[in-house]
Structure 1
Amino acid sequence: MHPGIAGALQEASLRTGAEFDHLMSTAMRESSLNPAAKARSSSATGMFQFIEQTWLGMVKQYGAEHGLGKQAAQIFQDSRGRYNVPDATQRREILALRQDPRLSALMAGELSEDNRKVLESRLDREVSNGELYAAHVLGAGGAVRLIRAAGETPSTPAANVFPAAARANRAIFYEDGRPRTLAEVSGFLTRKGATPDLRPSSGPVYAMNETPAAPGSSVSPVNVKYAGKSYASMGHNFQVLAPETIAIMASLDAPGNWGSSKPGARNGVSLMG
């Protein structure tokens, strides 16, 4: 795992309220936890693949809370709702912060909680982490539209409803050249788990003391040690980790695994972050 990523996700979870599992799986799906990832089909950059406008908007809104007050003051929103930085050098510097694991994770946490509020208000129910991931890719409004449309006309090609998103996210909206339906895209975004590389490591990376899960529970309380420090001691959001999160952490932190990761983002690139 890239140095600092574990701590960055920990801090973002504790400071924003976003679940550690969600942040980990989102970063895994977006960039394989690569802070320098850059998309080929959009401006998406960094571990969470923020596009330029989304990043500028998040820094404008939340930058002062996370030590970026000076940068936030340099960002202005025009009458059309677009964010601009008059000075070209300052703009480049602010956008380059997307490659900082800590700042990227903090803004992703803030975005996740913003999206949660919108989705729960408009759907009038609690939402899953998978639905929050759909909002990360499509924006909160797009996620609500997808969830509703998938329920109403599930067999409709999703690219017909989201043409711009489909152009930038072909891996999500198409399978072997075939357009996925609304139901399929919804399932792909909301139910597909992260897919860690589970190649054998040269030795044990994590020490886990696992206790049986409660009946009906999908996760188990675990004590995972990273660099000699127990995640369970880091705060309430680290008391329980989903099994797939543990698998991701263990596989990526094995010696040599980070170096084998391909630089760059996934083929499907977030439009809204």
Structure 2
Amino acid sequence: MSLAPVSAQSAVLPAIRAAARASGVDFAYLAKQAEVESGLNPSAKAKTSTATGLYQFIESTWLAMAEKHGARYGLSGGREDLLAAREDPQMAAYMAAELAKENAAALQASWGGEVGATELYLAHFLGASGAADLLSARDADAEASAAALLPAAASANRGVFYGPDGAARSVAEVYDRFAAKFSGQQAAQAPRAAPGQIPFVREAALSTQSPLLNPVAVMLLAQLDAPSTGGTQQK
């Protein structure tokens, strides 16, 4: 996925940071997820599905999130208005953060391992149930076929589940492909949460120094955080 122009990135990064602060979900994770999903382009549209926007929400997932969380963020209206809001970077970032929280809780309950960036992105891509199945299978037998475990997902995403030669990838290989998208994040996984506590990825929260962020994003965030040099000078 190619990155959006600098002007587009400068518009979406403050929205992502606002969502991180409002939700408690790590900023670096949300920014990297948007980069992977859409190249930080709030108007991105998939060619093979209804996925749209910064976080490539399909229609059914977006409408479900809007029903559960829309009121908190002022998201309302008819079906078409709700779906159009996927191209609003602020609203998309809010819904992505809420979905990350839901997925973190679901993975902790059904899988029980340490939930980090790779696990959260697996859940965004496969759904929490599919991600939990893949993670559990990886724990039990890393060489098991991911396509045999998740045939519907494999059929819809052959490039993820099959190699260039057509051979099915193992659950470990599929996991590693997702981990590679978040290079630098695996060394600092979120700690295991206490019972009833939702785990979050916080190792780079609101940091402009995260190795996950592209150089343009780091530069833009540094500019946002820099103290203003304007104003009237005293004489």
Alignment TM-score, normalising by the size of structure 2: 0.75
> Normalized per residue, which structure has more strand?
1
Q: Which residue in 2 is equivalent to 1:120? A: 108
Q: Following the alignment from structure 1 to structure 2, what is the Cα–Cα distance between the partners of residues 169 and 252?
A: 33
Say whether the 8 Å CA contact 1:34–1:47 is kept in structure 2. yes
Q: CA 1:239 to 1:33, structure 2 compared with 1: closer, same or farther past 3 Å?
A: closer
Q: CA deviation at 1:187?
A: 1.6
Letter in 1 for 2:99: L
Q: CA 1:37 to 1:134, structure 2 compared with 1: closer, same or farther past 3 Å?
A: same
Say whether the 8 Å CA contact 2:117–2:182 is kept in structure 1. no
Q: Could you list the per-position Cα deviations for residues 150-187 of structure 1 after superposition, in whole angstroms to 9, with x for gaps in the alignment?
A: 22232232112112212222232122133211111112
Q: Determine which of 45, 60, 71 is the counterpart of 1:53.
A: 60
Q: CA deviation at 1:93?
A: 2.0
Aligned positions, number: 195
Letter in 1 for 2:41: N
Say whether the 8 Å CA contact 1:47–1:104 is kept in structure 2. yes
Letter in 1 for 2:65: M
Q: Trace 1:42-81 onto structure 2 (pairs within 5 A).
A: 42-68=49-75, 70-71=76-77
Q: Following the alignment from structure 2 to structure 1, what is the Cα–Cα distance between the partners of residues 216 and 151?
A: 32
Q: Following the alignment from structure 1 to structure 2, what is the Cα–Cα distance between the partners of residues 52 and 67?
A: 19
Q: Following the alignment from structure 1 to structure 2, what is the Cα–Cα distance between the partners of residues 144 and 98?
A: 26
Q: Following the alignment from structure 1 to structure 2, what is the Cα–Cα distance between the partners of residues 247 and 187?
A: 24
Q: Trace 1:1-273 onto structure 2 (pairs within 5 A).
A: 1=6, 2=8, 3-68=10-75, 70-71=76-77, 90-176=78-164, 177-189=166-178, 191-194=179-182, 237-239=205-207, 241-245=209-213, 247=215, 249-250=217-218
Q: Percent identity, aligned pairs only?
A: 38
Letter in 2 for 1:91: R
Letter in 1 for 2:79: R
Q: Following the alignment from structure 2 to structure 1, what is the Cα–Cα distance between the partners of residues 102 and 145?
A: 28
Q: CA 1:7 to 1:40, structure 2 compared with 1: closer, same or farther past 3 Å?
A: same
Letter in 2 for 1:53: S
Say whether the 8 Å CA contact 1:30–1:47 is kept in structure 2. yes
Q: Following the alignment from structure 1 to structure 2, what is the Cα–Cα distance between the partners of residues 6 and 170?
A: 31
> Normalized per residue, which structure has more helix?
2
Structure showing greater relative contact order (alpha-carbon pairs closer than 8 Å, 6 or more residues apart): 1
Moved over 6 A (4+): none
Q: Following the alignment from structure 1 to structure 2, what is the Cα–Cα distance between the partners of residues 125 and 98?
A: 31
Identify which range, 159-168 or 13-22, moves more after superposition.
Answer: 159-168
Say whether the 8 Å CA contact 2:55–2:92 is kept in structure 1. yes
Gaps of 5+ in 1: 72-89, 196-216, 219-235, 254-273
Alignment TM-score, normalising by the size of structure 1: 0.65
Structure 2 SS opposite 1:36: coil
Q: CA deviation at 1:98?
A: 0.7
Q: Following the alignment from structure 1 to structure 2, what is the Cα–Cα distance between the partners of residues 40 and 163?
A: 21
Q: CA deviation at 1:193?
A: 2.8
- Give the RMSD, CA atoms, in angstroms: 2.3
Q: Following the alignment from structure 1 to structure 2, what is the Cα–Cα distance between the partners of residues 101 and 114?
A: 20
Say whether the 8 Å CA contact 1:13–1:109 is kept in structure 2. yes
